[in-house]
Amino acid sequence: MVNVKSWMSKNAVVVFLLIIVVAFSLASPTFLTMGNLINVTSQMSINALLATGITFVIITGGIDISLGSVAAFAGIFSAFVGLRFPNMSTGSSLLIQVGSAIVIGGICGLFNGMMITRFRVVPMIATLAMMTMARGFAYVVTGGQPVYGLSNNFAWLGAGRILPTEDMQLGVIPIITLFTIVVVVLMHILLTKTVFGRHVYAVGSNESVAHLSGINVKNVKLRVHILCSIMAALGGVCVASRLNNGQPASCDGYEMFAIASTVLGGTSLTGGSGSVARAMMGVAIIAIINNGMNLLQVSSYWQKVITGLIILFAVIVDMAQKNQKN
């Protein structure tokens, strides 16, 4: 009994997630169906990628608000490149998408990191500049028009499924879900099992101590920003692939959902602590709230209010637990 109690107090977020799931399954008969839960995993994917990237930045004590714009720019860019290959196979479309994400994300992240480490611009301002620039480039590339007319294979990553069954001819498991799981697990390993991961925590806990113990702080920060932008760009190409269309206005404000998810998962904005796995809890909570409210036909105005309140509530509960421990 004591064990259960202490587990619950340590994992308030998990308990909270379970409560939401139970509440929605009672309120809506469709919520717990296989089809819906699988949809939720595909809807979560984009935010999961973004939240994973920003978790690294937040652990070092930084912030990046350019995620949504970088995602949109990378998505547009991949669609733009994809348009040049009308007969592409699924393999080459995947190559174009991941390649675009690495190139665009790499450039944007390098720029952010350089501004922050070499020119000593405050992270909030450096990434604010990138936020407006990347969005601008997304419009420059397209002249404000969506990029359409892509081959159906371009949609394989975002909308494709595998394992067809009797009643689901197109397949059951979304490829985007599998892709996201693989990427997120790799990132989790990078953060928990490598020297680089330990350096990320060290820089976030105490920069000067990290510096004195021989860690190249600037280098760690630069890499973290590059990583974060590449993850955002991956999210962006997934959106473009999901829609089979490059929308210059897409992913607007997604950085806020990513930051909220990470904080929901218990990562502190002051840096030094946090984990990718916990951020995923936050991602799941936000996705399930949106999905459940869509099923229940809650008006979109109230959805916003409720989402905000739940984020606050979860963080307050989490803080209370931490204070008890101390």
Partner 1 sequence: MKRKSISIVLAAVLVLMALAGCGSSTPATSQAAPASSTAPSAASSAAPESAADKKITVGFIVGSREHVFYNLIEAAIVEESKKLGIEAIVYDGELDANVQSNHIDNLVAMKVDAIALATVDAAGVGPAIDAASASGIPCFTFDSGYDSDSIICHAGTDNVEGGRLGAQEALRLAPKGSSVAMIGNPASASVLDRQKGFEEVIKAQTDVEYPFFGNYEGDANVAMSLTQDWLVSKPDLAVIFCAGDPAATGALSAIKAAGAKTLVVGFDGNPEAIAAIKDKEGDGQWWVSEISQNPALIGTTITQQVHKYLTSGSVDAKLIPIDPYIITAEYIEKNGL
Q: At what angle do helices 300-325 and 254-264 cross, to 10 degrees?
A: 30
| Minimum CB–partner distance for residue 54 and partner 1 (Å) | 18
Q: How far is the CB of 310 from partner 1 (least distance, A)?
A: 18
CB of 197 to partner 1, least distance (A): 25
In this complex, which beta carbon is closest to partner 1, that of residue 66 or of residue 245?
A: 245
C-beta closer to partner 1: residue 11 or 39: 39
Provide the binding-site residues for partner 1, judged by CB under 8 A. 30, 33, 35-36, 39, 42-43, 46, 110-111, 114, 118-119, 136-137, 139-140, 143-146, 148-149, 152, 155, 158-161, 168-170, 239, 242-245, 247-252, 290-291, 294-295, 297, 299-301
Q: Cβ of residue 274: shortest distance to partner 1, in angstroms?
A: 26
Residue position matching structure tokens 């371009």: 154
Residue found by looking up tokens 């998408």 in the block: 97
Selection from 303, 170, 176 nearest residue 234 by Cα: 176
Least gap, CB of 226 to partner 1 (angstroms) = 13
Q: Which is nearer to partner 1, 59 or 240 (CB)?
A: 240
Beta carbon nearer to partner 1, 87 or 299 = 299
Using DSSP bridges, classify how beta strands 161-162 and 173-174 pair: parallel, antiparallel or unpaired.
Answer: antiparallel
**DSSP string of 20-58, one letter each residue:** HHHHHHHH-TTTTSHHHHHHHHHHHHHHHHHHHHHHHHH
Residue 121 CB, nearest distance to partner 1 (Å)? 12
User: Which C-beta is closer to partner 1: that of 169 or that of 323?
Assistant: 169
- What is the distance between the alpha carbons of residues 253 and 255, in angstroms, rounded to a whole number? 5
Alpha helices in 143-275 (DSSP H): 156-159, 175-193, 195-205, 207-212, 217-243, 254-264
Shortest CB 168 distance to partner 1, Å: 7
Check the CA dihedral 226-233-77-150 and report its sign: positive
Q: 74: which 2 tokens? A: 């990378």
173, 38 Cβ separation under 8 angstroms: yes
Q: How far is the CB of 217 from partner 1 (least distance, A)?
A: 14
List the Cα angle 219/224/226 in 5-degree steps: 95
In whole angstroms, how close is the CB of 322 to partner 1 at the nearest point? 33
Q: Name the nearest CA neighbour of 62 among 277, 218, 286.
A: 218
Instruction: Find, among 36, 66, 102, 29, the residue nearest to 259 by Cα.
Output: 66
Of the pair 3, 119, the CB lying nearest partner 1 is at 119
Report which DSSP code applies to 206: -
Comparing CB distances to partner 1, the nearer of 15 and 38 is 38
Q: Which is nearer to partner 1, 85 or 252 (CB)?
A: 252
Q: How far does Cα 183 stand from its chain's mean position? A: 11
Closer CB to partner 1, 280 or 288, in the complex: 288
